[in-house]
Structures are given as C-alpha cells and as structure tokens.
Amino acid sequence: MTYAVELLNITKDFPGIRANDNVTVRLKEGTIHALLGENGAGKSTLMSILFGLYQPTSGHIKVNGQEVKINDPNDATALGIGMVHQHFKLIECFTVTENIILGMEPTKYGMVDVKRAAKEIAELSKKFGLNVDPYAKISDITVGMQQRVEILKMLYRNANILIFDEPTAVLTPQEIEDLMQIMRRLVSEGKSILLITHKLKEIKEVADECSVLRRGKYIGTVDVASTTEKEMAEMMVGREVNFKIEKEEKEAGQVVLDVQHLNVKNAKGVLGLKDFSLQVRAGEIVGIAGIDGNGQTELAHALSGLAKAESGTILLNGEDITKATVRQRFDKGMGHIPEDRHKHGLILDFTLKENMIIHEYDRAPYCKGTMIQQKEMDRYAQHLIDEFDVRSGEGIDSLTRSMSGGNQQKAIIAREIDRSPDLLMVVQPTRGLDVGAIEYIHKRIVEERDKGKAVLLISFELDEILGLSDQIVVLFDGHRNGSMKASETNENELGLYMSGSKKGSEQHEE
C-alpha cells in the first residue's frame, strides 16, 4: 500500500493541554481521507503540524514513504503539501493572480510577469473546473470563489497533498456541492486530500476513509462507504447523538420585535436590504432563509445597531430603537450571536472570563465602585464553561485568541443565551460546531422559545432553519420573498424562493 502521508504517533503539548496524544493517521495515495472530531479534539493542530506551522512534541512524519522534518510551511510546500485554512489568507486589494503568485513571482526582464502567471492560472482553473477569473479583485468575488483562489494557490505551487480545514463552514449549499465536485476532480488528477470537517453528510458524500479524534486521542479509522453517519457521530462524541430537533407546537404571544419598511445599505453603499418588514413574537422562532449575500448581514447589523437604517423603524417591546446604540439595545432586552465571531463576538486578546462579562463588567456583582470583582467574574465564567462545555488550555484564564473556532463560538453562545434576553438574534449559531455541540445549542435555543422569549434565527443551513423555526421568512435580493410555517414547507420549495425562481406575495417589483 502506497501512502502519500503518514503521521505516526504524533503528540503535541501546549501550556496546560495535550492537543494530540499519540495520534497515527495514514492517507492513501489518490484518496480523500476525512479527519473528524469535536471542537478542540486536535484536528487542526494535527494538520498544522503536517503543514509546518507547529512542531510535534514527539512522533514522526513520512511523505511518500520517506521520513521528513517539516520546520515551516516552506518545507511543506517543497514536499508538495498545501493547505486551505479555515480563515482564508488573501489580500483583499490584490487580484486573484497577485495573491496566487505572492512569494513565487515569475519575472521577465527583471519585472513581475503577471501576464504569464495569469495565463498559467487560467489553464489550471480550466483543468480543475474552478472557473476563476485571474484578473478579478479578491474584494469583488464571493467567499466560495475566494476559496477556489486558495485551492489554485496550492495547485500553482505543484501541491499533491491537499489539506482542507473546515472548507464548507462559510459556503452556501450550492457552493458546497461545487466544492465536492472539485475535490473529486482533484483526486481523479492524482491528488491526495486530507479533509477536516464536522459535517457527516459531506464525509459520506466525498471521503473514502475517516479517522476520528476525541479529546486529542485517536479513536479509529473507518471505511466511509460501510459506516453510517450515526456510527461516526457516536465515535466522535462517545455517546448516542439525536439528530432530530425535539420541539412541540407552541402558541406565540405578544410581538417582541416589529420591523417596518427597513432599508439598509451594504458595504458598497447600495441598498442591501429593501423595504423589509418582519414581526417576531414571544415564544416563537422565526428563521430567515436565503443564499448568502441577499440582505442577511444588513438585517442583522441594522437590528443590533452595527449599521444604521436609511429608513424604516425597529420596535423592541413596543419601543422605537431604530437609532439606539448597540449598548442601549442590549440593555433593553436584545441578545446577539453575531455572524463574525472575531469581529463582533469577542475581544480576542482578552481572557475567556473577561469576554464572558463583556456586557456587565461595570455592574454588580462584577463591579464595586470602579473595581472589577475577580471572584464573581471567575465564578460566573466557570459556571458558563461547565454548562456549555467550552474547552481551552488554561480554562477561564485562556486567551480567547488561543482557542479553537468552535470553542470561541460556544463561549459567545453561552454568554448570550445565559442572559436570556427578550429577543435573541442568532446568526449562524452552529457554524463550525460538531454534532454533539449542535445538538446541545439547538436544545438551548428551543428552551429560550419555551420560556416565552422571541428568537430570530439567521442561518444558511436549511436543515437548521427547517428544524428550529416555527415561521420562515425568505430573503432574496434584499427583499422579503415569501413566508411560511416551517411545518408546511421543505428544502425544495425553500430553494425556489431563495433563488428567486418562485416569488412570494410580498415581493415588490422595482
């Protein structure tokens, strides 16, 4: 058997935590090998060791049967290893070509030969079915296209071993399908792929083998075709997982959020949300469905106070908050799990416990006069960490920046749900979370609804929208395009409204 990569007995220690504990994973040549595990199980750490970003505490790496030492990403590149990171490493004001050739610029008469590089990139793009414009600016292309640029970056450097770290976390359903096809194409051209993901459906669709990690330890490797999603989920979390969202029909109460004729500009200065109206009642979950970029971000930013409304009104419990500050909205009963956890959810250079009291740091019991009450802050943060299973190397004193993306997300969710606000706005709440964490977060969101709170859910995961919502509103091109009871629709019908193929009665002609 020929192995493209063998990670043998890898152990990696960080201060206070063993991220990888004697892990062995072998990637067969010309196959897709998935790496599955809970948030903080050590998947990204293992792949970062293979890519030269970390050095193992002990263990060996073999590439094509030869033992190698990978000191940094340049060594990895020289060995034909490439990596698409969860958070892309692209320069927004550069073109596709400029990003791809950075550090490997071809020259002609002492000048960078962009034309030659662009021609080569266009050929690679065509060969692997990527359809990328070499001259497009990164700031002007979709997230899905940006990911393809990262793939081209690897191919341009002749990588044969490709690492994908949570590649579908930021993609729409259509883009995910396209990526799966691209992966199959890459393998058919002789590449070997390591895929880090939480999504069992995607593993079943595209992977040949799957290795499972749990709390840093290797649990086992299975043949994907002969293993069920349920079996893989149980290997991952160590118990049975319920995929069905349990919730009873409930009578909604008073209107908590009332949005009327809202118009909001997007980052490019044109209207991204147009004449949008919405009501969310107490004891109700309203889901916003739509393909990314159809006004969801503008809606969330306008409701939370991160963007101003051009016109229209936002009422919270009957009070006009259209011009209220972010802080005032929180004080009046709004909670917000934001789309971008790094920009709007956390202060990355604060500790975990400091982030947990970010809304209440100046109030009792966390503050007395001008002094922070450390004991109270520690007690509260520890309670949230225990309840929501937030994992980090140094517990409540961990720097938030050092935590895995999934555990950062759990920290925000813990903080916002524990406050139990009248209106809980959750945007992509389970992005990057594993099945065990998703099951728990969904349960907590339903509990908030059952307590009589109003929940506004914005998600690109149709399973999540259909499973959690009582009512669904579809956004298309910034307009409200259809609304329906979740129990009376399905993925296909929603897809038609989301793509604009089907028009809702609320859709306005421009």
pLDDT, tens only, 299-341: 999 999 999 999 999 999 999 999 999 999 999 999 999 988 8
Q: pLDDT value at position 457?
A: 97
Rounded Cα distance, 487 and 81, in Å: 47
Continuous H helices in 305-348: 326-331
Q: pLDDT value at position 166?
A: 83
Rounded Cα distance, 342 and 412, in Å: 10
Do 3-237 and 255-333+421-499 come out as alike in CATH topology? Answer: yes
Rounded Cα distance, 214 and 218, in Å: 7
Residue 185 or residue 106, greater confidence:
185
Q: Is the pLDDT of residue 507 over 80?
A: no
Rounded Cα distance, 315 and 396, in Å: 36
For residues 462 and 289, the answer to whether their CB atoms sit within 8 Å is yes
The string of DSSP letters for 401-461 reads GGS-HHHHHHHHHHHHHHT--SEEEEESTTTT--HHHHHHHHHHHHHHHHTT-EEEEE-S-
Q: Is the pLDDT of residue 506 over 70?
A: no
Q: What is the dihedral of CA 383, 402, 194, 227, to 10 degrees?
A: -10
For residues 313 and 260, the answer to whether their CB atoms sit within 8 Å is yes
For residues 441 and 428, the answer to whether their CB atoms sit within 8 Å is no
Q: pLDDT value at position 508?
A: 44
3-state class of 19 per DSSP? strand
Q: Would you list the domain boundaries of the chain?
A: 3-237, 255-333+421-499
Report which of 153, 145, 133 is spatially closest to residue 179, judged by C-alpha positions.
145
Q: Is the pLDDT of residue 16 over 80?
A: no
- Residue 329, φ and ψ in degrees, nearest 5: -65, -40
Q: Which residues contact 500 (CB under 8 A, 6 or more apart)?
A: 476, 477, 481
User: What is the b/e burial string over 277-306, where b = at least 16 CB atoms within 10 angstroms of the residue's CB?
Assistant: ebbbbbbbbbbbbbbbbbbbbbbbbbbbbb
3-state class of 15 per DSSP? coil
| pLDDT mean over 490-506 | 81
Furthest CA-CA distance within the chain = 74
Residue 504 or residue 366, greater confidence:
366
Rounded Cα distance, 409 and 423, in Å: 19
- For residue 126 the two structure tokens come to 């065509």
Residue type, 130: L
For residues 408 and 341, the answer to whether their CB atoms sit within 8 Å is yes
Residues in the chain: 510
Peptide bond into 365 cis (omega under 30): yes
Residue type, 211: S
- For residue 177 the two structure tokens come to 């399908």
Which residue, chain included where needed, has tokens 């349960």?
443
Rounded Cα distance, 411 and 341, in Å: 10
73, 137, 158, 260 from 121: Cα distances, Å: 22, 14, 12, 48
Q: Is the pLDDT of residue 2 over 50?
A: yes
The string of DSSP letters for 366-414 reads TEETTEE-HHHHHHHHHHHHHHHT---TTGGGSBGGGS-HHHHHHHHHH
Domain 3-237, what architecture? 3-Layer(aba) Sandwich (3.40)
Rounded to the nearest integer, the mean pLDDT of the chain is 90
Rounded Cα distance, 232 and 238, in Å: 10
Q: Which CATH superfamily is domain 255-333+421-499 in?
A: P-loop containing nucleotide triphosphate hydrolases (3.40.50.300)
